[in-house]
Structure 1
Amino acid sequence: MKVSVSGKLFTLGLISFWYASNIGVLLLNKYLLSNHGFRYPIFLTLCHMMACSILSYVAIAWLKMVPMQTVRSRVQFVKISSLGLIFCLSVVGGNISLRYLPVSFNQAIGATTPFFTAVFAYLMTLRREGWLTYVTLLPVVAGVIIASGGEPSFHLFGFIMCIAATAARALKTVLQGVLLSSEGEKLNSMNLLMYMAPVAVAFLLPASIIMEEDVIGITISLAREDSSILWLLMFNSALAYFVNLTNFLVTKHTSALTLQVLGNAKGAVAVVISILIFRNPVSVTGMFGYSLTVIGVILYSEAKKRGK
């Protein structure tokens, strides 16, 4: 009985930490990019990926949290690199969108991930879902259209970047299933992150230097004026890794379906907290649209579950 209770408490603690790291990194990204005036989303993503590279290696090689899996061939490395590029594009797009959009609207668009996943799965694998599954995607898309029309802080470029980030996230999920489908090539999410993150760093470093002129010099200058920016960047980067770590651990100790359900609730919690913190204006139409999207995602999850 004691083991059962302690096990439940451990799982509850994991879920709480997963929520805290997910919502924390989202709100801190928004604070840094919009409210704090650190307008360098590519460099911010570079910091995230550097932290993921270092901490994932520490967790696997030193702390032995999971067995280390090796890259077995050049072909597998190319596949992982492709996933790494798409992964970094999704994070960059999400961070850029936070410069222009409130967290509440960002989360509403992000909730359409199942729609893009279904589209890419059909285009790339010709795998068809049941008709009911596709029907449940209608409120997912309709909700975002309604939310967009009722969003007081709507910004077209931010909206496009957020859609691109959501689509890239879905594409990475589908591609991961296609590219690393054989038993010899499958990697757990922690090992995959350890190999993808350095690839993302290799892409992001020149991109940040070229597109965000003198970003390192500006960051050093800002740090001299106010050292808190360095602590914020380090804490934010560590949180970005813990999002991935807790995501893996929650899936391991519960299930992928539980993670999906918790993720739907997390989006709603993030919206409420962001509105309370940043005081961004919201409309009844926007909230109705977001609610419709969340309902659609829940129905989609149920339809997928029954389809199996």
Structure 2
Amino acid sequence: MDDAAVVDARAGWRATLETTAAKWRPTVELGALFAGWYYFSIAFNVYQKALLKAVPMPLTATFLELAIGSALVAASWGLGAKARPDVKTSMLKPIATLGMVHMLGNALTNVSLGKVAVSFTHTVKALEPVFSVGLSAIFLGNIPSLAMCASLVPIIAGVMIASATEVSFNMAGFLSAMGSNLTFQSRNVLSKFVMTGDDMKKLDYVNLLGVLTIASTVFALPLALAFESSKMNVASIVAGGMPLAVAGKNLFMAALCFQLYQQLSFMVLSRVNPVTHSVGNSLKRVAVIAASVIIFRNPVSTTNIIGTALAIFGVILYGRVKKQKSA
């Protein structure tokens, strides 16, 4: 083979490799986003549970984590890592509305994580589709099909079975997780009403999360002061046996992981359809439940596992039914 033929062969191989790389790059990038979303979600729940187990101040933790998140958002805008949104006066009311609900959803989730096992909180939060269907029917007039209603049955049955056999069951923890479902799904319904202005539509997913984080911080402070101000001292913080430095580390890491997994979730949503994202979120919940059981060594019965699996199966089934309806 002469030199010209060798050069042509190398050029052909290079072109083939570049074409193959370009073809697979979106899939690899999406896989990396999913992996990061799952990893930081698991990490957030681990750090958060460890913190709240020793320092039972969920509302204060919510405020501080949102404040850290707000600082990270501001830094990303200030350093040019993300273009700063042009927030106009007309946007303040819808941002405040969604920010309030966003804050309540996070606060109630933290209350639940502090009261019961991580696995149980996320099993109860598998009921999100039930709240989504109900609120959409009431406020948006979206009447669910018979198939969609049928897909909710295993979710409800699974959560009931898991709740009845949950060793760490606590009514406050259960109701807080249910309240979190209600507030987060209310946020989704409210967004249909308040995200209609031309200025609001200009916000991309990441900047929307950023402005909601800042608004949520403003609302979280008076709530924390109203209910936990008496505990805001060093003695109360170290009473659970966790050194102050470790508590501070867990708080910062929980806040960082929370922001990262939320942003990665929005980045995934920007690349896939909502149904695929919903199924991915269900599988993420499985990963969080499994990791928390292993890390915290929570006692679980066979019946509890069956209930959890049934609920997750129902969520995935709901996603498939919803996909067929939207096709």
Seen in structure 2, the aligned counterparts of structure 1 residues 124 and 221 have a Cα distance that, compared at 3 Å, is: closer
Seen in structure 2, the aligned counterparts of structure 1 residues 244 and 219 have a Cα distance that, compared at 3 Å, is: farther
Q: Which residue of 2 aligns with 1:29?
A: 48
Amino acid at match of 1:59: S
Greater shift, 236-245 or 256-265, is seen at 256-265
Please identify the structure whose Cα radius of gyration is greater.
2
Which of residues 163, 181, 201 in structure 2 aligns to 1:148? 163
CA contact 1:97–1:159 (8 Å) conserved in 2: yes
Which of residues 159, 180, 199 in structure 1 aligns to 2:174? 159
Which of residues 244, 262, 270 in structure 2 aligns to 1:252? 270
CA contact 1:72–1:185 (8 Å) conserved in 2: no
**Is 1:115 paired with 2:130?**
yes
Question: C-alpha separation between the residues in 2 aligned to 1:221 and 1:148?
Answer: 30
Question: C-alpha separation between the residues in 1 aligned to 2:317 and 2:76?
Answer: 36
CA contact 1:56–1:190 (8 Å) conserved in 2: no
Which of residues 205, 223, 239 in structure 2 aligns to 1:189? 205
CA contact 1:143–1:289 (8 Å) conserved in 2: yes
Greater shift, 297-306 or 48-57, is seen at 48-57
Question: C-alpha separation between the residues in 2 aligned to 1:141 and 1:221?
Answer: 38
Residues 144-184 of structure 1 deviation map (CA, whole Å, 9 limit, x = unaligned): 11111111221111111111011111111111122213444
Question: C-alpha separation between the residues in 2 aligned to 1:39 and 1:157?
Answer: 13
Amino acid at match of 2:79: W
Amino acid at match of 1:265: L
**Is 1:15 paired with 2:29?**
no
Residues 245-301 of structure 1 deviation map (CA, whole Å, 9 limit, x = unaligned): 111222223343332222111111111111111111112222111111111111111
1:85-100 to structure 2, matched below 5 A, reads 85-100=100-115
> Tell me, which stretches of 5 or more residues in structure 2 are unaligned?
1-19
CA contact 1:30–1:103 (8 Å) conserved in 2: yes
Matched residues, percent identical?
A: 24
Seen in structure 2, the aligned counterparts of structure 1 residues 188 and 163 have a Cα distance that, compared at 3 Å, is: same
Amino acid at match of 1:38: V
> Tell me, which stretches of 5 or more residues in structure 1 are unaligned?
none
- Return the offset for 1:214: 4.3
**RMSD over aligned Cα atoms:** 2.2
Q: Which residue of 1 aligns with 2:301?
A: 283
Which of residues 79, 84, 87 in structure 2 aligns to 1:62? 79
Which of residues 251, 258, 263 in structure 2 aligns to 1:240? 258
Question: C-alpha separation between the residues in 1 aligned to 2:236 and 2:248?
Answer: 9
Greater shift, 2-11 or 189-198, is seen at 2-11
Amino acid at match of 2:32: G
Question: C-alpha separation between the residues in 1 aligned to 2:235 and 2:185?
Answer: 32
CA contact 1:25–1:236 (8 Å) conserved in 2: yes
Residues 51-97 of structure 1 deviation map (CA, whole Å, 9 limit, x = unaligned): 222222333453344x54433344x3112111111111111101011
SS of alignment partner, residue 111 of structure 1: helix
Question: C-alpha separation between the residues in 1 aligned to 2:195 and 2:81?
Answer: 23
Amino acid at match of 1:40: M
- Return the offset for 1:226: 4.0
SS of alignment partner, residue 151 of structure 1: coil
- Return the offset for 1:189: 2.5
TM superposition score normalised by structure 1: 0.91
Question: C-alpha separation between the residues in 1 aligned to 2:118 and 2:205?
Answer: 26
1:39-54 to structure 2, matched below 5 A, reads 39-54=56-71
TM superposition score normalised by structure 2: 0.86
Greater shift, 94-103 or 182-191, is seen at 182-191
Q: Which residue of 2 aligns with 1:304?
A: 322
Q: Which residue of 1 aligns with 2:219?
A: 203
Question: C-alpha separation between the residues in 2 aligned to 1:219 and 1:12?
Answer: 45
Residues 107-144 of structure 1 deviation map (CA, whole Å, 9 limit, x = unaligned): 11111101101111111111213221122111111211
Question: C-alpha separation between the residues in 2 aligned to 1:42 and 1:102?
Answer: 18
The count of residues paired between Structure 1 and Structure 2 equals 304
